[in-house]
Amino acid sequence: MASTALGIAPLLYFVSLPVETKILITSGVLALSGFCFYTLTKPIDKNLQALNVGLLNFKDGEYSSTLACTSSDEFGELCALFNATAETLRKEKQWLHQRELMLDKVLQTSPDVLLLINSDNRIVFSNYQARHFFNAAHRLEGESIDTLLTQKPSALGDMMNNRQEGLFTLPLEDKGVETWHIAKGAFLLNNQSHKLFILKQMTRELNRQEVSVWKKVIRVISHELNNSLGPISSLLHSGKIVSNQNSDPRLVRVFDTIEERIAHLNQFVQGYGKFAKLPVPVFDTISWDDVLAQLAQQYPFKLSMPEPVDLKADAIQLEQLLINLLKNAHESGSAPDDVELVITQNTSQVVIEVLDKGKGMSESVMANALVPFYSTKATGSGLGLALCREITDAHRGHLVIQNRQNDGLCVRVVFEKNKG
């Protein structure tokens, strides 16, 4: 309209017309120019508004809207490019969403404790294992980590506040002592510093490695003893023939003593070989009547089994486990009538306890009770409790030794029902 006004100004200046006529002509020309401008630019304005709305949707992370444009001009090309970009972003968003779902599933089902903490010491992410670790019935997001740590032993807080990574132990009432490994990481998210803590339960893995080392040692010892016992037994047989021919009672006593010690060493090697070569358990439903009848033939005990217990385990190994525990209970100095076998269950576990009223264990003895070769008995092999732990681990359970409040010892074996 301004260009039109400038264009007709010289014409009106040089043409002799009344002022009213000039004003009328100028108004008409400007009105016609405005109408033409509005008519010609209306589609452009509509397209610009649609493009503006689409870009605002992009800014808000919404990629589902597209532009309806049928023209074949430059705006048509721009609309087609916009729609193609929206389709690409929509696919990428769906792909990222699926990846986030997969990552969340992996993190939530991880056996490790995962905690992401912001600069205010507030938890912004935790998995199911973390909630179980802190005995929380709800999500931990938004909780203060300092408040949660007050419910745990100080060793955990010391490790989380320490910049180093490594192993630490947590005393637990129901499982004795557990060994954990803590790993840490630092991240910058939304321009804020965050700390990631990964706590891994290492007790079972360390026990497995320890038992593996002991088994290798036992195999070497058994191999060397067998290599020596073979020739000695052969020489003993020849020596006994010579002594019988000479009728010398002193030689007879010497060879009888040697034969007795060889028999003892053979039993020693066989016992350690049983520990070193424990077979893979064969899981089947336990017939408690048969197992308890076999145990009663070995050692007397009082039975407490309030209800029928459903357990899948290796019957032979379970029987050997209970025989070892009952044997230790009777050798603890407890009266035979005070030895008790308690078998209970809940929705997810079967708990077997062997109780006695003996002298119990000191802290130093209890710390080494499950170590192979360790024994406080003059004639003990140090394999009874070690074999019990090996059988328990093979069944993916755990074994706990605790002193009772009124003297005596409690050995608790816990089997998970859903892991049989």
Q: Is the pLDDT of residue 128 over 60?
A: yes
Determine the Cα–Cα distance for residues 181 and 287; give it in Å rounded to an integer. Answer: 40
- pLDDT for the residue 9: 66
- Looking at domain 110-201, its CATH class is alpha beta
Q: Is the pLDDT of residue 38 over 80?
A: no
- pLDDT for the residue 110: 86
To the nearest whole percent, how much of the chain has pLDDT over 70? 80
Percent helix, strand and coil across the chain, each to the nearest 5: 55, 20, 25
Q: Is the pLDDT of residue 378 over 70?
A: no
Half-sphere exposure (Cβ direction) of 392: Cα atoms closer than 13 Å:
26
Q: Is the pLDDT of residue 342 over 90?
A: yes
| Residue range 223-280, pLDDT digits in tens | 677 777 778 777 777 777 777 777 777 777 777 788 777 777 776 666 666 655 677 8
Is 411 exposed, middle or buried, given 0-12, 13-18 or 19+ CB atoms closer than 10 A? Answer: buried
- pLDDT for the residue 352: 93
Half-sphere exposure (Cβ direction) of 197: Cα atoms closer than 13 Å:
26
Give the mean pLDDT of the chain. Answer: 80
Residue reference for tokens 């320490």: 162
Which pLDDT band, with edges at 50, 70 and 90, does 340 fall under?
very high
Half-sphere exposure (Cβ direction) of 162: Cα atoms closer than 13 Å:
13
Specify the 3-state DSSP secondary structure of 53. helix
Determine the Cα–Cα distance for residues 205 and 207; give it in Å rounded to an integer. Answer: 5
- What is the model's pTM? 0.47
Determine the Cα–Cα distance for residues 302 and 390; give it in Å rounded to an integer. Answer: 26
- For the domain 284-419, what is the CATH code? 3.30.565.10
Is 362 exposed, middle or buried, given 0-12, 13-18 or 19+ CB atoms closer than 10 A? Answer: exposed
Which pLDDT band, with edges at 50, 70 and 90, does 176 fall under?
low
Which pLDDT band, with edges at 50, 70 and 90, does 156 fall under?
confident
- pLDDT for the residue 7: 67
- pLDDT for the residue 368: 66
Axis-axis angle for helices 315-330, 288-298 (nearest 10):
30
